[in-house]
Structure formats: C-alpha cells, structure tokens
Structure 1
C-alpha cells in the first residue's frame, strides 16, 4: 500500500503545533543579550538573578557568546557588556534603509539651530524605535540611545507618526492599543488622542508635554519618502526649563523645516 505523503521539514510522527517549538539554548542566549543591552554592565551573579537562572548556566551562555565576540567582560567588578559583534549584527537592520545616513546632516543642523538634542525614530510593532540621535552640548539633556523604544501615544515622534496614519488605520490603533499612563499628563483615552492627532495635522508638528518623563518635552514631525509614505519621525527634546510654552512654536517651525528637508533627501516632493 502506498505510504501517505509526508511534508518535508517535519519529523515523522510530529503533530501540528499551535505554538512554534523553541530552542532553549538559543532562547537563553537571546535573553542574555537583551538583558545586557538594557543595563550598563552586569556581573555574572546579577545576570543570573535577573534572568532567574543558575550561575553555572549563565556562565556557559556567556562563554559561548564571548567566543563569538557577542559579549565582553571588563572592569574591576568583572561586568559583562554587549560586544562588538552584536553591534555589527544589529547594524544590519539600519543598512536596510538609508534614512539614518541621509538625515544625519539634517539632525546636526537641527541640534545646532535649536540647541537641543535631535532624534530620529521609526515605527516598529506599535512603538517608536529610536535609530539615531545628535546630542546637545548642554549638561542637562534627553538621551535615547539607538534601540530605545517608546509607545506611539506618549512620544513626540510617535504622535507625529500617528498623525500620518489614514483614518481607518488610526481608528484600528485607537481601538486596540493599550494607552498606558506614565505621568499625569499622558494621553490615555482614544478621544483625547484623536483630538491630539487632529491638532498635529493642523499645525504640522507634535508635542510630548511631559507625557513620558516629567520635566522633559519633545517636539516632532513626520518624514516622508518619495512614495509619500511616512517612514520616520524627527524631533528635538529637552528639559521644560529650556522649552517653555513661548518657545514651542519656534521649535515646531525648526522641526517641520528639518522634516521637510529630510523628506526631500529621500525623494519626497513637498
């Protein structure tokens, strides 16, 4: 009798799974990299406690990653850090687009004219992913290193990107997004966020008014490519003491101008 046809790539006798199988060693290695990326150095014992794993297990994972230069150890406390190879691998994501390279001079000019830190972010999985920053020379400044994420509804770039959503996509977001509160100023209702988006579309720039961090403000605008797609957002951020209400309008005009210039470098016709 003819044997039933078996799909390639699935072991004999394996049933269809509701969830994809995991590789424990790979999961642990990724957990280690993510933990180190979110901390400014961790000792072996700190890492083991943070991930709720044994010291012996974490030592084996770190040793394997160190051999490939994905982690490195330094300092008197023998702290572990993300290594150069992890940075090189992560940089492949940025090489998929020329946004970072094309907007670098625009960001430098924006920082010089405004005196505040300029930021570049893109939308990923319902968050803003910061991919580039030019820091101000002021001692008190905002700091969003590449790889930092922020929710769309509570960031200047995020709200600028939301303003570029068509109405249907915006309504889907408003129905499904968890509008978490971070400060007493955070927008946490769909009606408030809908009104904020309408205002952004009218004036051309967004404002994060201490909605994620008390004492910090951010003014953002959307960057478009040659097809008219919103591909990124650019912003300036700084302490409220240097960004009072009277200065927001001026900063908004600079950010809108920078966004337009960055859009033109990507082929947009404005």
Structure 2
C-alpha cells in the first residue's frame, strides 16, 4: 500500500470511527446506555414482567430499572400494560428491526460465510433461492481446484434434482409443496434422479430429520452436492447454501464430513439475516 492509499484508508476510517476505535475500556463506554441496553435485551427475552420481578432477576435496584424503562418508553421501545402491570417490548423496536432487515442483503451477508465454507471444505460454495418452482442461483465462491462445479448467478435448476432445491422443498408446507411438485414434472437427468413422488417425499422427510440434503449425481453424473436451508424471521426456508464437487473428491465418506460445515454456514446466514430455524420434524 502506497502513501496515497494510506491517506484514503485513513480518511475513510476517520469518517466512520474515531481514533482509539478498538479501545473498549470503561472510559470509552457509556455506562448508563450500556445498562439501558442490558435491560432492553433482557426484557426482549422475558416479556410481560412487572418492574419488581425484572429488577430482582437482573440484580438491579427497582429505581434504576424504572428509570431505564421510562426512558425507553418515551422512545416507544418498551410499553407498559397498565391493566396487567407488566412491561413489554414496544412497537418502535420492531420498526428499527425492520429497518435493519431492509438494509440486509442476502447475497452480501452470504459472501463471507460462503468463502469460509469453501475454505473449510475445499469445494465450491453456492447460494440459491426458489423462483417459480426452480432453484435460482444467486452467488458462488469457487474452489481453487481445477475440476469444479460451476453455477453462475442467474442459473436455474430443477428443484427435485438439486441439493438446494431439495433442502427448500423439505421445508415447504404441504400445500405449497404439492403445488410446486404438481406444476413441475420430475424429469430424469441421470439414472440417480428421483422421479417417483413417494421416493421424493421419503427423501424430503430424511432431509428434515438430519438437517441437510444430498444431490448424489442426480443432475450431473460425477458431481455431488450437500446443502442446508436458510430461514428468515418467520421460520420459513428462503434460501439454501451448498457445496458442490466431483465424486472423485466428494466421496460417500465426505458427505458426512462436509454436512457439518454446510449446516453451520446455513445457520450463520440465518442469524445474519435475523432469521430463526424451524424445528425439525420427521
């Protein structure tokens, strides 16, 4: 980095943060604000509690907690139920949270997670969503290996023959799943493609149980894919993350080994977009 680059870097830092940014000592924190956020976060997890119980559980004096709550109430972040005499999170908290979600880009949030996944497995990482009964690939971080899977952004793939597609199908409600499957024939691409509805439903049940899907040469001979779903704040599977590679490198033993980092990557992206995974059902 030359002198000019250093100047640009310094200018950028000065606009967003002051000198001593990394100093998190007490002198650089606002204790009253930190205490207020502590109360706010605790109330978000334990709503509907009276002042005395909140103060007792947090180990704070009722007077201190009351001042915090009154201040937050003035901003609409909490509200008081006068009939029940308990405190709740207020509507303004939702408004602020919604603004965060609008700022959040699925692809932008996914890129560093996908890069870590590629580095952990040595195989290409992919991000896809469902669009009109097909998988639409949004992003890819390619492996450095010479033989690799390639799904450029904008590529469409049939859901029943895709790792991401099956991960998303597995978490659709029954009515939507029926609509998607009835509108799209289970086309055979290889001898391993699942073309029977009963067999596909059995595979989807297994995917829900273990938390990840496998495309075992179902779209392309010689290629395997392991995928896991990404959930939004409504517990709906809105995307999928996968790793894909040749069967010469992704053998049967690698499926189990790769499944953990794939599931962890999907969970990390779920958290990054403010989502929450649905409970697994068989």
TM-score greater than 0.5 by the shorter chain: yes
Which residue is 1:193 aligned to? Answer: 200
Matched residues in 1 for 2:193 and 2:258: separation?
21
**Which of 172, 177, 187 is matched with 1:170 structurally?**
177
* Greater mean deviation of Cα atoms: 154-163 or 164-173: 164-173
Q: How far apart in 1 are the matches of 2:239 and 2:140?
A: 13
Contact 2:104–2:273 (8 Å) recurs in 1 = no
For each residue in 1:16-49, what CA deviation from the matched residue of structure 2 results, as whole angstroms up to 9, or x when unmatched? xxxxxxxxxxxxxxxxxxxxxxxxxxxxxxxxxx
- Secondary structure of the residue aligned to 2:143 is coil
Deviation at 1:115, TM superposition (A): 0.4
Specify the alignment match of 2:230 in structure 1. Answer: 223
1:24-43 maps to which residues of 2 (within 5 A)?
A: none
Distance 2:152 2:208 in 1: 28
Query: Is the 1:175–1:190 contact (alpha carbons within 8 Å) kept by the matching residues of 2?
Result: no
Which structure: larger Rg? 2
CA distance in 2, matches of 1:161, 1:229: 9
Deviation, 1:164, is 1.1
Written as runs of structure 1 = structure 2, the 5 A alignment for 1:255-270 is 255-270=262-277
- Counterpart position of 1:179: 186
Shift of 1:176: 3.2
- Structure 1 gaps of 5+ residues are 1-94
How far residue 167 of structure 1 moved from its aligned partner, in angstroms, is 1.9
Q: Is the 8 A contact 1:156 1:208 kept in 2?
A: yes
Partner of 1:203: 210
Give the match for residue 142 of structure 2. Answer: 135
* CA distance in structure 1 between the partners assigned to 2:276 and 2:259 by the alignment: 21
Question: Displacement, 1:177?
Answer: 2.1
Would you say the 8 A contact 2:163–2:226 is kept in 1?
Answer: yes
TM superposition shift of 1:253: 1.0
Count of aligned pairs between the two proteins? 176
Identify the match of residue 245 of structure 1 among 245, 249, 252: 252
TM-score w.r.t. the length of structure 2 is 0.60
Aligned counterparts of 1:204 and 1:104: Cα–Cα separation in 2? 22
Segments of 5+ residues of structure 2 without an aligned counterpart are 1-101, 278-282
Secondary structure of the residue that 1:137 maps to in structure 2?
Answer: coil
| Structure 1 residue 229: Cα displacement | 2.0
Counterpart in the other structure of 1:235:
242
Aligned position for 1:113: 120
Instruction: Give the Cα separation in 2 of the matches to 1:162 and 1:210.
Output: 18
Residue 163 of structure 2 corresponds to residue 151 of structure 1:
no
On the 8 A contact 2:243/2:262 being kept in 1, the answer is yes
Paired residue secondary structure (1:236): strand
Q: CA deviation at 1:124?
A: 0.5
Q: How far is the alpha carbon of 1:96 from its aligned partner?
A: 9.6
Does the 8 Å CA contact 1:204/1:256 hold for their aligned counterparts?
Answer: yes
How many Å separate the matches in 2 of 1:186 and 1:226? 33
Q: Secondary structure at the match of 2:218?
A: coil
